[in-house]
Amino acid sequence: MREVSGSTWVFQIMILFILIFACFLTLVLNYSKAYRVKNEMLSIIEKYEGLTSQSSDIINNYLVGQSYTTTGNCPQDDNVKWYGAIDLEGNYEEADGATRYYYCFSQVSQPSDSRDYIYYDIIVFYRFNLPFLGDIATFNVNGRTNSFVGSNNLIGGII
């Protein structure tokens, strides 16, 4: 009888470690996808010198192609205006604390001697979920572009 109960404990411990490994693997894969999406968005914004209507269309098409559906809340800051993507069709609004967005961005100006340089802060979200437990938590992945002299940007034009 001891052998049966002893092997049951070993079997349960093995199952526990397999579940822990599966949770870790799920977390890493979701984070990797969100990190890749964030880097591509930053590259597009830098390439088109701001969040223009053209770069916005490219970003949204990329997110649809990557099956990016995670939403989250944008930060609330009195010093910085955050904007959120309501959908992946190019609709943005000034972020509030209650609405969930696909991604968030803000434009920050850096005055210089002769020109105003800008950069963008971006937040995309990734979700930690397991098939048998569902959504556990949603985390932010933050990114920032390099400083550049921006062209006509989305914040000044469309919003």
Q: What are phi and psi of 72, to 5 degrees?
A: -160, 180
Type and span of the H or E element at 134: strand 134-144
Q: What is the pTM of this model?
A: 0.78
What span, in angstroms and rounded, lies between the C-alpha atoms of 107 and 120? 5
pLDDT recorded at residue 159: 46
Is residue 130 left, alpha or beta, with left meaning phi > 0 and alpha meaning psi from -120 to 50?
Answer: beta
Q: Where are the domains of the chain?
A: 2-157
List the helix and strand counts (H, then E) for the chain: 3, 5
**Running DSSP on this structure, what letter comes out for residue 63?**
H
Q: What is the pLDDT along the chain (159 residues), one digit of tens a residue?
A: 556 666 788 888 999 999 888 878 877 887 888 899 999 999 999 888 888 888 899 999 999 999 888 899 998 877 888 999 999 888 888 888 889 999 999 988 876 666 778 889 999 998 877 666 777 788 889 999 888 876 655 555 444
**Parallel, antiparallel or unpaired: strands 92-94 and 103-111:** unpaired
Tokens of 3: 């052998």
List all residues 6 or more positions away from 44 whose beta carbon is below 8 Å from its beta carbon: 55, 58, 59, 62
Type and span of the H or E element at 99: none
pLDDT recorded at residue 150: 65
